[in-house]
Structure 1
Amino acid sequence: MTNQAKNVAELMLDQLSLYGVKRIYGVVGDASFGLIDALARQEQIQFIACKHESTAAFMASAEAKLTGGLGVCTATMGPGATNLLNGLGDAHADRAPVLALTGQAPTDKIGKTVPQFINQQDLMKPFAAYSANVASPDTALDLLEKAVGTALNQRAVTHLSVPKDLFMAQSEAEPRQLPEVIEGASVFTKESLQKAADIMKSAQRPMILAGSGAADAAGDLKELAELWGAGILASLGGKGLVEEEFPLMLQGIGEGGNPHAAALFKEADAVLLAGTTWWPEGYVPEGARVIQIDRHFDQIDKNLPVDVGITGKTEEVMSLLIEGLSGFSPSQGWVNRCKKVKEKWDRQNEDEGHTGGFPVHPSRIIRALDRTVARDAIVSLDTGDNTVWTNRNFRQTDQTFIFSGYWRTMGFGLPGAMAAKLANPEKQVVAIVGDGGLQMVLADLLTATRYKLDITVVVLNNESLQMEADKLKVLGAKGVGTDLTNPDFVRLAKSCGWQAFRPESAEELESVMEKALNTVGPSLVDVQTAQAFFPETE
């Protein structure tokens, strides 16, 4: 049986369904009517109608970060495609496999002076590892296959523009049943990792810096830390990989991290980077030998003075490094120093979490959150002051955090939470956002209402772009525009069909959080937040 009765849009959806795509995020526009029509005629892939294309791209990026699978977003030509760029920038920067499908001018109008026309391949060039315009109906699936393969294999953004008339054009192509892929282990032996093992065995002051690429190696991280006598620090992407109670877990690094760990880290004579490509500028231990594990070769030595780069999955390499440490005796003095730094910060963190006053200090808000959210919740962070306070004071168990890592865009928190709930309906999902970040995506409160998404958004409302205000002060510069004109978030959320709450004192925080978390459907907690100067602002 052939697919002669199907058009390009229908065939593309059939093929995406075979790739495991469950949702496409987007905004309807006339250049993509053919795709919208095809989505409406099938049930394998759900169309999530967003209020703004940037939200659609953020949601595709968040889903890809969480699942490792393909995130897909769509928009019309011109301004629709342009509005996707911020979310695609986030996916590009954080290596999330995302496919953007955009409508384009009809084939006989491309290159002419027509409304909304732009060369979309040029538009997408900074972010897309592959971008092509579909030129004929029978090549659509070939180009789609290349775009999806590139996105998944390179963990990259890819893009296809489809002329308006081609979406509905008939094609004789047929979707390809995908082969079962058996992913084998990388070829490692103890001998091939001997140099790394030698560096590790010579170390007296070792440290491990873990990131999101070590998500499947939490147990090995702890075992290696104990055998090697190493403290574990986490980038924000690694937050939650190792529970706070683990004796060698020193928490985060950089803005919002353990403030006492920086000096210790600078004394390290060997550092293992496990699934991360970053450490904060100025934290690099002078003279330390650096071993980096990363799945993608082009990430090795991206920003750091690496002695040994190991391309592979962290969980595959870790077990062999553990074997290579057989018989090693760690420096108990260094282990004790790591534990003392941890204990010192644990005491200070606990004290900060009891900071009094109203409006409420950010540390007190984060303490209320770590007491009330589920141990395995998904937490979506916006970018801003809320990010650093969460990194500083949230005491993780095994929560999963998603955020805009390298792109660091405001407005990610709410879309990230919505995508997380759609992809993981069984999980509790919480967004921690600033008032500035939330206002960038306010219209999409209605997207959560439309799809009855059981999420909770906690707003740190200090009527300020606080991080920018603090940094201007440090520079000795005058600021303008950092104060915000805020709506009444409770009334606004309720008008959008949300349940909304506002604690009237710091003492009410936990009870109000629990009420919101136990509400069925979308809920918002608006917390009047003190304009606290972040202690490590540079």
Structure 2
Amino acid sequence: MGRTVAQTLVDSLTGLGVRQVFGVVGDALNPITDAIRRTDDIEWIGCRHEEAAAFAAGAQAQLTGRLAVCMGTVGPGSVHLLNGLYDAAKSHAPVLAITGQVPLSEVGTDYFQEVDNDLLFRDVAAFRATVASPGQFPGLLEMAVRTATARHTVSVLTIPGDVGGQELPDERQPRFSLAEHSTRPDEPDLRRAVDVLDASGKVTLLVGRGAREARGDVLALAERLAAPMVLTLKAKEGFEDDNPYEVGQTGLIGNPAAAGAMDAADTLLLLGTDFPYRDWYPQGKKVIQVDTVAEHIGRRVPVDVGLVGDVGPTVRALLGQLSGDRDTGHLSKARDSYATWHEAQERLTAPAHDKTLIGRVRSAFDNRDHRIRPEALAAAVDRAAADDAVFTSDTGMATVWLSRFVRMRGGRRLLGSYNLGSMANAMPQALGAQLLDRDRQVVAFCGDGGLSMLLGDLMTIRTYRLPVKLVVFDNQRLGMVKLEQEQAGLPEFGTELDNPDFAAVATALGITGIRVTETENLQEAVDKAFALDGPVLLDVLTNPDEIAVPAQPTTTQGWGFAIAKIKETVRSVER
């Protein structure tokens, strides 16, 4: 008896090193999930929502660089994968989604739950195809896997419900022949870059996630150029620890030192980043950009020299040609500015901050209910978490507090929806990360809005006994939207959340829940949460009016915020 399409798929995935598949079972997937049931080397992770399954798979792919897999059955089951797959695609994560389809004889008849998957996933998937016969399957699977892994993106392979259980017509099995590659720019382009750098008195590096594997080379380049190093959020995990050139991040979550280092530079050198915020690039600078993707060169800021290649070999080639010592004044000024800002931020995290004179004045404006400062919560978690913890963060204010108060020291890793900017990503990404290594600490910085959006998959954490630490910034607001409205001069509207006691919800689901309402109890509660072995949800009531000042606040933003606060005060009086 020959092997079925479903069994061939499962055997191929185990051969590729896939150890878990995330999804929700359903009719068209039944042959595949049954093959998983009969295979020892792969585990089915039954999620409560396919979006969570896609986020979990994307997290695994980002952490390992290897293929991860999620599945959704016919119609709505596949549709639910979309948001998590968009996040994987924009995060350059190699993910294979297996989707179900109605029986072949019914395709095109508007059958119950029929959705055109090839059309549905056209924008998100670099490869998508529907298996129309068992004989097609090995070749289509090869193409799907090669596309996802070679291009670090999403592939979608649709298998109709009556195809998965059919036998292959011959002994043809999928063969993948996957290979790594490394590139460096041509010599004339390198020479042009060297000439620009040698002629520049002040150079600032903007370093992204794409430079992570070349940390040593990038640090050597910063030393040679006496250049301050501005980090994107995704570069925190590779470059924040033990780095004498780092000056933090720019952009809305950044700091004045990083913005100043970019403004003062003669030349900006972009390494492995596609930092998208055009308004945060200074004008009138020479710009050199290194990226593996040619079409990324110059799409955010005009570039004088584009170098298409991997960061490591490109930087090593530059180091071999650059001239000698540089004046360190630019670097020293940026580092001093960063240290001053960082010390001021640290003072905000002290439990007794609001009892000081400055703290009392500040509280009268932005924390009249004396809620817990989110800065203090983030700093407490930073102190308690392991040096090799994996952190995930929800889009919004949870990411702001993590970016400013959690240091990616040691072997810490960081995940978030930092390109797509989706809500609800932190908890399911933590789920996927924890399944890679049940003994490694995984910490999710959850916004209350994000957590409640996919709240059902707390049950997945309980079912698989995953020791995830869920830290909930419970400000009863969609905090980032509130801040955006106020900076535009609008009173907040539609952002208030009528939350339950999340700790009680967790307890009802069989997860340890801890609720914190007073600052003096914060550190003890955090330490307790991290000392427990199993999953813990730490529900901390934080100040909804906390202000996250951007790196370069504008006069317009300041007036907008003041006007919004006046409108909010008047509205509260009218009530």
TM-score normalised according to structure 2 size: 0.89
1:293 corresponds to? 290
CA distance in 2, matches of 1:184, 1:160: 25
SS of the equivalent of 2:126 reads: strand
Shift of residue 329, structure 1, vs aligned partner: 2.1
Whether the aligned pair in 1 keeps the contact of 2:393 and 2:446 (CA below 8 Å) is yes
2:164 corresponds to? 167
Residue 392 of structure 1 aligns with an amino acid whose one-letter code is R
Correspondence 1:375 to 2:387 = yes
Task: Check 1:526–1:510 CA distance in 2 against 1; reply closer, same or farther (3 A cut).
Answer: same
Q: 1:317 aligns with which of 309, 314, 317?
A: 314
- Counterparts of 1:150-299 in structure 2, within 5 Å, are 150-171=147-168, 172-179=170-177, 181=179, 183=180, 185-187=182-184, 193-299=190-296
The answer for unaligned runs of 5 or more in structure 2 is 355-369, 558-575
CA distance in 1, matches of 2:29, 2:320: 55
Which range moved further: 132-141 or 357-366? 357-366
Task: Check 1:128–1:180 CA distance in 2 against 1; reply closer, same or farther (3 A cut).
Answer: closer
Shift of residue 142, structure 1, vs aligned partner: 0.7
- Counterparts of 1:495-506 in structure 2, within 5 Å, are 495-506=508-519
Q: How big is each residue's C-alpha offset from its partner over 1:171-226, in whole Å with a ceiling of 9 and x where there is no partner?
A: 13443454474x45425576652112222211212111111111112222222112
CA distance in 2, matches of 1:301, 1:151: 25
Q: 1:388 aligns with which of 394, 400, 412?
A: 400
Which range moved further: 345-354 or 46-55? 345-354
SS of the equivalent of 2:476 reads: coil
Which range moved further: 349-358 or 233-242? 349-358
CA distance in 1, matches of 2:120, 2:178: 35
1:412 corresponds to? 425
Correspondence 1:332 to 2:346 = no
Greater per-residue helix proportion: 2
1:350 corresponds to? 346
Correspondence 1:27 to 2:39 = no
Q: 1:421 aligns with which of 412, 423, 434?
A: 434
Which range moved further: 55-64 or 336-345? 336-345
Q: 1:461 aligns with which of 474, 482, 497?
A: 474
Task: Check 1:279–1:177 CA distance in 2 against 1; reply closer, same or farther (3 A cut).
Answer: closer
Residue 173 of structure 2 aligns with an amino acid whose one-letter code is P
SS of the equivalent of 2:110 reads: coil
CA distance in 1, matches of 2:6, 2:332: 62
Shift of residue 9, structure 1, vs aligned partner: 0.6
Whether the aligned pair in 1 keeps the contact of 2:142 and 2:176 (CA below 8 Å) is no
Q: 2:452 aligns with which of 439, 443, 452?
A: 439
Task: Check 1:97–1:298 CA distance in 2 against 1; reply closer, same or farther (3 A cut).
Answer: farther
Whether the aligned pair in 1 keeps the contact of 2:54 and 2:70 (CA below 8 Å) is yes
Whether the aligned pair in 2 keeps the contact of 1:61 and 1:97 (CA below 8 Å) is yes
The answer for unaligned runs of 5 or more in structure 1 is none
SS of the equivalent of 2:331 reads: helix
Residue 335 of structure 1 aligns with an amino acid whose one-letter code is L
Shift of residue 387, structure 1, vs aligned partner: 0.9
2:12 corresponds to? 15
Correspondence 1:51 to 2:48 = yes
CA distance in 1, matches of 2:101, 2:316: 50
Residue 282 of structure 2 aligns with an amino acid whose one-letter code is P
Task: Check 1:496–1:82 CA distance in 2 against 1; reply closer, same or farther (3 A cut).
Answer: same
Q: 1:360 aligns with which of 348, 372, 379?
A: 372
SS of the equivalent of 2:162 reads: helix
Residue 475 of structure 2 aligns with an amino acid whose one-letter code is N
- The runs of at least 4 aligned residues of structure 1 exceeding 6 Å deviation read none
Which range moved further: 49-58 or 301-310? 301-310
2:359 corresponds to? none
CA distance in 1, matches of 2:126, 2:247: 37
Q: 1:533 aligns with which of 547, 550, 566?
A: 547
Residue 442 of structure 1 aligns with an amino acid whose one-letter code is L
CA distance in 1, matches of 2:534, 2:135: 44
Whether the aligned pair in 1 keeps the contact of 2:67 and 2:148 (CA below 8 Å) is yes
Correspondence 1:137 to 2:146 = no
Task: Check 1:426–1:219 CA distance in 2 against 1; reply closer, same or farther (3 A cut).
Answer: farther
Q: How big is each residue's C-alpha offset from its partner over 1:19-71, in whole Å with a ceiling of 9 and x where there is no partner?
A: 22111110011121111111111122211100001001111111111111112
Please provide the CA RMSD for this pair: 1.9
Whether the aligned pair in 2 keeps the contact of 1:208 and 1:274 (CA below 8 Å) is yes
Whether the aligned pair in 2 keeps the contact of 1:513 and 1:525 (CA below 8 Å) is yes
Residue 234 of structure 2 aligns with an amino acid whose one-letter code is G
CA distance in 2, matches of 1:83, 1:372: 36
Whether the aligned pair in 1 keeps the contact of 2:291 and 2:308 (CA below 8 Å) is yes
SS of the equivalent of 2:256 reads: coil
Which range moved further: 11-20 or 442-451? 11-20
Correspondence 1:147 to 2:144 = yes
- Counterparts of 1:509-520 in structure 2, within 5 Å, are 509-520=522-533
Which range moved further: 495-504 or 6-15? 495-504
Residue 93 of structure 1 aligns with an amino acid whose one-letter code is K
2:499 corresponds to? 486
